[in-house]
Structure 1
């Protein structure tokens, strides 16, 4: 299983931590402002430092090592510009250091980045020891808290990696189980449905052309058609179990148009009416008609643009593919001299579902393929 790295963006937790540290720092700076010992002599600068620390916490997931290094540099500047021997360690400095140290420990990284992270953590701890009011007890307390923050980050990283591995194994096991179930269903159900269909066909042939048995032949023919449709739909549904992907249908038209747009063809897809769920075989038939028409347009029409119009009504779904290329009879590969097999295949798909198909030149030039598929009782 391949994992892609999602684009980084701040989480709600990042925003809450940033607001908490910045707000606490501003309150502390102005709440303890004053000229006396233990008071903040320059609250404006200390409050500004708290706001910058909050911004760094907001960006912590983008670059953990970089944000911790920036916080350490900020603390060093404040130490020189603001603090004196009577000013104790600001609470927001300690809290923000702990949060960023934990983030550095939890971030998946290579050996070089991890070594850089350890160096920045040690530098942040060393700077804390130069702040006023630090003695042996304070140094030990700081070491314990920063060690726990870094260690808990490492544990979180390992637990996350373990959870991802377990999820990958579970996904593989689920895929294998889907394959096993699909194989068993195919062996059991498809065999018996196909056998029933063949038996119905055999009985219909035994009735020969007796005019008195026309009603029976029609009923048996309906049984055959239903059996073939059931086997086809079952095959596609089992493909979903095996591959975990839904069969192609009208919901895949944009994906179908993407490579044609990349090839320089302007493909526009428009839908009118209210879309409805389609049986897998019918959805695939509609998709194949559009695919064949677009392929012919790309190969033979010399068109610059093509429009795919999908219309939904109560009783039918219609698809129309109109291009602005060469019309029929222009050696474009879609007239009688070429494209017969593709057009015949489209007619067969449409006729299998009781629909109609028209293909030919448009009133304003170009080429148009239009198919109508009945829905509900009309099918």
Structure 2
């Protein structure tokens, strides 16, 4: 906090007000000339007001305020020339001792200096001639408790700050892992789309070249041959640009994935692998199966693959149902298991992030969560023309 903007807290103001009011009541309420009474109340009342003012700055200058309070006590005693020790001074001393202890670690120079100020304040309490052994011990107990409570408060505050910093760091790390998972999944999707697009453009270029070769002996098809030659050239240039722009996304030393090697038509092989690991897997197809775009086909397969992997690794499922539903405007895949997964298991959450990325890429929606009665369900809907 900047010095120019510093203000006493509400607690400081409340404590200061309590000391001032209690000091006025003590000074004038015990006025008299009998033993134990106050013959000159005004100096003590002024001293109480000064002690209250010092408490307003206890958080800012704890050691200075404690030493100043000792000075106020000495000044009041010199003016009154009496051995009466005001209660407001003792209360203020305990408050400032607590504040000094909570201000710095004892092992630091500031902490040792604070301890010295506390011992000085305690020593002042023992200068009154009427103090007996019990009074010395009582004041020692109260001062010791005030000092110990300040240490405990400081340690509690330090622990709270450490936990807050740790929570912030963990949240930042979690968000960073999520960003990395999204980036990694997008790179993987880009590699797969690169394979699919390159394969299809290559096929179109080859077919165009084949048609052009079929027309080479026909003199009346010169214009068509010229157009087909342009199409071939554009196809080769597109393949080369795809290789340059997206080829860098491949893993070092990796080879091109076989186009169409993975898709919903390979679902039986995937289910067989999962079944060999233990769970019973049932595949249901609703509606009339039809060809879907390669990118969508691959993404639907990957969603099912990730959901099955999660059910096997984290949910300890014994039975899994995979449903592929074909409707007029969409393809929906759903994986339901009877495991113990609740979305808070041992997984990192990156698989779910990857699934959302794949579904969102096609403008679809994904839902995942526990099923009433036990189990877990992942459902992805892909719009399809």
User: TM (normalized to structure 1)?
Assistant: 0.48
Which of structures 1 and 2 has the bigger CA Rg? 2
User: TM (normalized to structure 2)?
Assistant: 0.47
